[in-house]
Structure 1
Amino acid sequence: MSTFENEPCNRTTADFQYYLFPVVYSVVFVLGMIGNLGALYVFICKVTNHSSSDVYIINLAVVDTIFLCTLPCRIHYHLNHNNWIFGDMACRITGTLYFTNIYISITFLTCICIDRYIAVVHPHTYLRIKNTSLTLMVSVCVWAVAVSIMLPLLLGGPLDSTSNGNTTRCFENFSFEDWTHRMSAYNVCALLFGSAIPLTITMICYPLILKRISKIPTPSSRRALSIIYLILAISVTCFLPYSITHLLYYLSRLRIITNCSFLHGIYKMRRVTMAIVSCNSCLDPVLYYFSTTKFKWSFLKCLKPKKTKRVYTIYTAK
Structure 2
Amino acid sequence: MEWDNNTIQSLSLPPTTCVYREDFKRLLLPPVYSAVLVAGLPLNICVIAQIGMSRRALTRTAVYTLNLALADLLYACSLPLLIYNYAQGDHWPFGDLTCRLVRFLFYANLHGSILFLTCISFQRYLGICHPLAPWHKHGGRRAAWIVCGVVWLVVTAQCLPTAIFAATGIQRNRTVCYDLSPPALATHYLPYGMALTVIGFLLPCAALLACYCRLARRLCRQDGPTGPVAQERRGKAARMAMVVAAVFAISFLPFHITKTAYLAVRSMSGVPCPVLESFAAAYKGTRPFASANSVLDPILFYFTQRKFRRRPQELIQKLTAKWQRQGG
On whether the aligned pair clears a TM of 0.5, the verdict is yes
- Partner residue, 1:168: 175
Counterpart CA distance in 2 for 1:54 and 1:302 is 19
- Partner residue, 1:20: 28
Q: 1:260 to 1:178 in 2, by over 3 A?
A: closer
Structure 2 counterparts to residues 237-276 of structure 1, below 5 A: 237-255=250-268, 258=271, 262-276=275-289
Number of residues of Structure 1 aligned to a counterpart in Structure 2: 304
Q: Deviations over 1:2-39 (max 9, x none)?
A: xxx97288543231110110000001101001110000
Unaligned runs of 5+ in 2: 1-12
Q: Deviations over 1:187-208 (max 9, x none)?
A: 2342022211122222222222
Q: Deviations over 1:212-239 (max 9, x none)?
A: 1112362112101101110000100110
The offset of 1:290, in angstroms, is: 2.8
2:197–2:256 contact (8 Å) kept in structure 1: yes
Q: What TM-score, normalized to structure 1? A: 0.86
Identity %: 26
Q: 1:173 to 1:205 in 2, by over 3 A?
A: closer
- Partner residue, 2:95: 87
Structure 2 counterparts to residues 131-280 of structure 1, below 5 A: 131=140, 133-154=142-163, 156=164, 159-165=167-173, 167-172=174-179, 174-175=181-182, 178-181=185-188, 183-184=189-190, 186-215=192-221, 216=224, 218-255=231-268, 258=271, 262-280=275-293
1:251–1:257 contact (8 Å) kept in structure 2: no
Q: 1:10 to 1:184 in 2, by over 3 A?
A: closer
Q: 1:260 to 1:200 in 2, by over 3 A?
A: farther
- Give the superposed CA RMSD: 2.8
Secondary structure at 1:141 match in 2: helix
Q: Does 1:107 align with 2:112?
A: no
- When you count helix as a share of all residues, which structure comes out higher? 2
Moved more, 282-291 or 120-129: 120-129
Secondary structure at 1:168 match in 2: strand
2:169–2:182 contact (8 Å) kept in structure 1: no
Q: 1:159 to 1:260 in 2, by over 3 A?
A: closer
Opposite residue 209 of structure 2, the aligned amino acid is M
Secondary structure at 2:132 match in 1: helix
Counterpart CA distance in 2 for 1:44 and 1:104 is 20
Opposite residue 303 of structure 1, the aligned amino acid is I
- Partner residue, 1:56: 64
Q: 1:151 to 1:14 in 2, by over 3 A?
A: closer
Counterpart CA distance in 1 for 2:244 and 2:60 is 17
The offset of 1:107, in angstroms, is: 1.2
1:28–1:282 contact (8 Å) kept in structure 2: yes
1:149–1:186 contact (8 Å) kept in structure 2: no
1:179–1:253 contact (8 Å) kept in structure 2: yes
The offset of 1:147, in angstroms, is: 2.1
Opposite residue 65 of structure 2, the aligned amino acid is I
1:42–1:295 contact (8 Å) kept in structure 2: yes
Counterpart CA distance in 2 for 1:149 and 1:198 is 13
Unaligned runs of 5+ in 1: 311-318
The offset of 1:173, in angstroms, is: 7.7
